[in-house]
Structure 1
Amino acid sequence: MLTFVTGSKQAFEVSLADVSQTQLQGKNDVILEFHVDDTTGANEKDSLMEISFHIPNANTQFVGDENHPPAQVFREKIMSVADVGTGVEEAVVTFEGIAILTPRGRYSVELHLSFLRLQGQANDFKIQYSSVVRLFLLPKFNQPHTFVVVTLDPPIRKGQTLYPHIVLQFETDYVVESTLSINEDILNTKYKDRLEPSYKGLIHEVFTTIMRGLSGAKVTKPGKFRSCQDGYAVKSSLKAEDGVLYPLEKSFFFLPKPPTLILHEEIDYVEFERHAAGGSNMHYFDLLIRLKTEQEHLFRNIQRNEYHNLFDFISSKGLKIMNLGDVRTADGVAEILQNDDDDAVDPHLERIKNEAGVDESDEEVFFS
């Protein structure tokens, strides 16, 4: 932090992690420019873009000489601890041509010291790590891709659409070798035991490891649930969108679109619904999840052979199953969801901040 004190009292302080560039103007002035944040929270309030400091030659805190004026001493001190470069800031590491499913497009993903940047042909997002509340590493069964989800609070905005979850899709077997562009002193102090100078491994593991080290966000991966084919998720559809539903240790996550995260603590009850007998529908069932807010999510067309694995997993989590005890009959059909906001902002996103502070040892990802 940079603290400005006047009359022995603190006037203000500035986080040097938010400084993107510094400029020496004349002999006595130093300008600090700050990172732009494209989350909605940044857009809803005033943000400091730049600040200028005048460093007199007679000051006693940053002492210089004729060839090395005090303003330059001050600037070098700032540069030694801030996320800045001599010109255009260099990323710690860049992953080129990454497929992102929401917001859809192919992006260059840059990981900087205090923010991540998504650069596409039509869109450019800068996201402070302070907005990253959790990472999810979710393999796709029997497919050559792995999801990595970056969950944000506040979300980013594209047009009128809010995106609380950035869904990246990596080729599962693709191996990369990355050397971090980072000051050795910073690496050995601030990021000691969090980052290594270089990495070689599967791209989704390398990305997640570096992202975790820079942002400090925890990583959630599949827990104990296994499908009938020994996968981590079951195929289903949410309204008109086909996807997969991941039953995780503390939540359910439907991917890829609309990415819908449902925390166990927000669930009132779940209900298994049979399709009417006859035709191909008899091989499928639906899963209704009703929240304590009375919102409902109906996951349709789950293969019938997934029933026992799902039932046992949900029972083990202590979630209320309304079919039991004849509260509702097993053949009952719940009303069709009336809420059209399933693809809007996740209504439980604020809860993730609390979850982010809880140790989930059985879900944490550690890579060497």
Structure 2
Amino acid sequence: MEAFNDTYLNLSKRHGITRFAESGWGWKPSSGGEGTYTLDQSQIVSAQWSRAARGYEVKVLSRNDGIIQIDGFKQEDYERIAKLFKLWYGTTLENREHALRGWNWGKADFGKAELSFNVANRPAFEIPYTEISNTNLAGKNEVAVDFSLPADGDAGTNGALGGARFRGKKSAGAKDQLVEMRFYIPGVASKKEKKAEGEEGEGGSDGEEGGEQNAANLFYETLIEKAEIGEVAGDTYATFLDILHLTPRGRFDIDMYESSFRLRGKTYDYKIQFDHVKKFMVLPKPDDMHTLITVGLDPPLRQGQTRYPFLVMQFKRDEEVNLDLNMKEELLESKYKDKLQSHYEAPISVVVSDIFRGLTGKRITKPSREFISHHEQSGVKCSIKANEGHLFCLDKAFMFVPKPATYISMDNIASVTMSRVGGAMAASRTFDITFTMKAGMADHQFSNINREEQQPLENFFRAKKIKTVNEMADDSGAILAAALQDDDLASSDGEVANRGSADEDDESVDEDFQAESESEVGEEFDENHESDDSDEEMADADGDAGAGGDAPEEPELVERPKKKQKVSK
């Protein structure tokens, strides 16, 4: 047996002892406790020696656990370790030097268990497939690679949980961690197809060249296949096509598996573990046409620099689906009895929520029965800044959807303030509520709430024993007075405000309006206008009518100013 002290397994923070024996090797933390890891010699495929952060490391490729790293060795340990790998395991310990040129361009090489980025035929860095959680086409020639985050920062090391099969446990608990890397891949490349099952097709003579395609697309498809992102172990239990998502915006197909579900869109694909689902809410939208399903995620879904802690899906209430669950009868009876059904025929929102609840074991949260809005709905229309949405009152929290999806637990609310913002008339129709949070948390303000919803909300706050400050009662008199004053201005028979030229004396003549040009405007609006005769003929007609005694007597009217006669030159 050969033993080496002060070594670290899979980039762990705790050091331990590595022991090599003829039957295999193992690592045990020096401080004791859980974390011991062993590997049988039959599981060893290859081994590599190279420089690392803590001196030198031995990287072992195993059949089941992928890449295992042990670093902390000294340079003089190479001869001893290479000899025992050759004698005991029949494997050559390859001495591999890394590229130190500092170039950011090179060639990506897809190995059996890791992606290697080579510069001048030397690896600059390697990425184990087990550490890749997702990949997306971020552009025509750009591929984004997302790395797995540890579910628990105090989980310790990857080895403490039993090897590299646990995705995302390397560097667990580190203050800083790489979460995304982007590759720019220009040009086109030819895809090499496999001749027969089991052949790698990466060698020049083993594969046939297929049609040329975008190099970034080929890189993306190969990484999905190698990292097992696209296909999840096991069959798809249920698939829902073209589901509208309000957050993140777009339409995605939903594939449900035993321990995860996948969102497949035109640009982005996401694979989300059911362990990451923390909340599941079914919210009837106040339009009486749609139902919203909101899924709370921790860690949040990432799309570039944007994080989405909530998925918001929208379904039509009258859209029904007929679905047979793709699951064996034995498994359905043994593991999901009374949780799932073999056949569903119901509205699609009900089917999706039931399958989610059966597979995740999460409780479905619905709006509180203690709250009914003025329009007999479960939510009220309001806004967060310029974003319109609906605020739903749950039994233990408030939820605003769709964007930005905001969850407010009642345990964190110190008080609620109801106030009016804006002018007198605007404030009489709408009001705002502000949630003041405890322990220095950021406050939440919701504006433009219909005035009719004040009493239902106030009753709900009182029922939940939430401290409520009603600032609207202080200025209600002023608001009412302002509203009445506006009504008086509109209907008063007394003195009114200056209305401009409308208040001028009817007998006054607007000299400026009398144009002296030869182009006269027709008297279409004059009730005495009968023809387009000249002014002289109209004057004669008026004179005859005034001289005759047979004309009927008309009521006395205000004398109209006479028109100016044309002067011929």
- For the residues of structure 2 that align with 1:35 and 1:209, how far apart are their CA atoms? 32
Are the counterparts in 2 of residues 274 and 331 from structure 1 also a CA contact under 8 Å? no
Q: Does 1:136 align with 2:136?
A: no
- For the residues of structure 2 that align with 1:116 and 1:290, how far apart are their CA atoms? 36
> Which runs of 4 or more aligned residues in structure 1 lie more than 2 Å from their structure 2 counterparts after TM superposition?
9-13, 29-51, 86-90, 275-281, 328-332
Partner of 2:454: 307
From 317, 322, 325, the equivalent of 2:469 is: 322
- For the residues of structure 2 that align with 1:208 and 1:167, how far apart are their CA atoms? 13
Partner of 2:319: 174
Are the counterparts in 2 of residues 273 and 331 from structure 1 also a CA contact under 8 Å? no
- For the residues of structure 2 that align with 1:143 and 1:158, how far apart are their CA atoms? 32
Partner of 2:431: 285
- For the residues of structure 2 that align with 1:157 and 1:265, how far apart are their CA atoms? 28
Secondary structure of the corresponding residue to residue 456 of structure 2: helix
- For the residues of structure 2 that align with 1:235 and 1:271, how far apart are their CA atoms? 17
Partner of 2:303: 158
After TM superposition, the score normalised by the length of structure 1 is 0.68
Q: Does 1:220 align with 2:343?
A: no
1:1-368 correspondence to structure 2 within 5 Å: 37=133, 42-43=148-149, 89-224=234-369, 225-292=371-438, 293-323=440-470, 330-331=473-474
Q: Report the CA distance shift for 1:295/1:12 in structure 2 as closer, same or farther (over 3 A).
A: same
Q: Which amino acid is 2:317 matched to? A: T
Are the counterparts in 1 of residues 420 and 431 from structure 2 also a CA contact under 8 Å? yes
Instruction: Give 1:50 shift.
Output: 5.2
Instruction: Give 1:280 shift.
Output: 3.2
Instruction: Give 1:187 shift.
Output: 1.2
Secondary structure of the corresponding residue to residue 222 of structure 1: coil
Q: What whole-Å deviation, never above 9, does each CA across 1:318-354 have from its counterpart, x for those lacking one?
A: 111133xxxx67448xxxxxxxxxxxxxxxxxxxxxx
Instruction: Give 1:295 shift.
Output: 1.4
Q: Report the CA distance shift for 1:87/1:276 in structure 2 as closer, same or farther (over 3 A).
A: closer
Are the counterparts in 1 of residues 416 and 434 from structure 2 also a CA contact under 8 Å? yes
Q: What whole-Å deviation, never above 9, does each CA across 1:92-136 have from its counterpart, x for those lacking one?
A: 000000001111110001111100100000100001000111210
- For the residues of structure 2 that align with 1:216 and 1:280, how far apart are their CA atoms? 47
Q: What whole-Å deviation, never above 9, does each CA across 1:222-269 have from its counterpart, x for those lacking one?
A: 112110010001100001101111011111101110000000001011
Q: What whole-Å deviation, never above 9, does each CA across 1:203-236 have from its counterpart, x for those lacking one?
A: 0000000001001111101112110010001100
Instruction: Report the identity percentage.
Output: 35
By relative contact order (CA 8 Å, sep 6+), the higher-ranking structure is: 1
Are the counterparts in 2 of residues 234 and 245 from structure 1 also a CA contact under 8 Å? yes
Instruction: Give 1:38 shift.
Output: 5.2
Are the counterparts in 2 of residues 175 and 203 from structure 1 also a CA contact under 8 Å? yes
Are the counterparts in 1 of residues 420 and 472 from structure 2 also a CA contact under 8 Å? no
- For the residues of structure 2 that align with 1:312 and 1:92, how far apart are their CA atoms? 44
- Number of matched pairs: 280
Partner of 1:340: none
Moved more, 259-268 or 275-284: 275-284
Instruction: Give 1:88 shift.
Output: 7.4
Are the counterparts in 2 of residues 37 and 128 from structure 1 also a CA contact under 8 Å? no
Are the counterparts in 2 of residues 276 and 282 from structure 1 also a CA contact under 8 Å? no
Are the counterparts in 2 of residues 285 and 304 from structure 1 also a CA contact under 8 Å? yes
Instruction: Give 1:276 shift.
Output: 4.5
Instruction: Give 1:37 shift.
Output: 4.4
Q: Report the CA distance shift for 1:163/1:305 in structure 2 as closer, same or farther (over 3 A).
A: same
Instruction: Give 1:279 shift.
Output: 2.9
Q: Report the CA distance shift for 1:36/1:182 in structure 2 as closer, same or farther (over 3 A).
A: farther
- For the residues of structure 1 that align with 2:131 and 2:254, how far apart are their CA atoms? 16
Secondary structure of the corresponding residue to residue 468 of structure 2: coil
Q: Report the CA distance shift for 1:103/1:277 in structure 2 as closer, same or farther (over 3 A).
A: closer
- For the residues of structure 1 that align with 2:239 and 2:426, how far apart are their CA atoms? 47
Instruction: Give 1:275 shift.
Output: 3.1
- For the residues of structure 1 that align with 2:421 and 2:35, how far apart are their CA atoms? 67
Provide structure 1 residue ranges, at least 5 long, that are not aligned to the other structure.
Answer: 1-5, 14-24, 52-85, 333-368
- For the residues of structure 1 that align with 2:336 and 2:455, how far apart are their CA atoms? 45
Secondary structure of the corresponding residue to residue 374 of structure 2: coil
Q: Which amino acid is 1:201 matched to? A: A
Q: Report the CA distance shift for 1:88/1:194 in structure 2 as closer, same or farther (over 3 A).
A: closer
**RMSD of Structure 2 on Structure 1 (CA):** 3.5
Partner of 1:345: none
After TM superposition, the score normalised by the length of structure 2 is 0.45
Are the counterparts in 2 of residues 272 and 285 from structure 1 also a CA contact under 8 Å? yes
Instruction: Give 1:193 shift.
Output: 1.5
Q: What whole-Å deviation, never above 9, does each CA across 1:123-151 have from its counterpart, x for those lacking one?
A: 00001000111210001123421100011
Secondary structure of the corresponding residue to residue 358 of structure 2: helix
Q: Report the CA distance shift for 1:93/1:284 in structure 2 as closer, same or farther (over 3 A).
A: same
Are the counterparts in 2 of residues 92 and 181 from structure 1 also a CA contact under 8 Å? yes
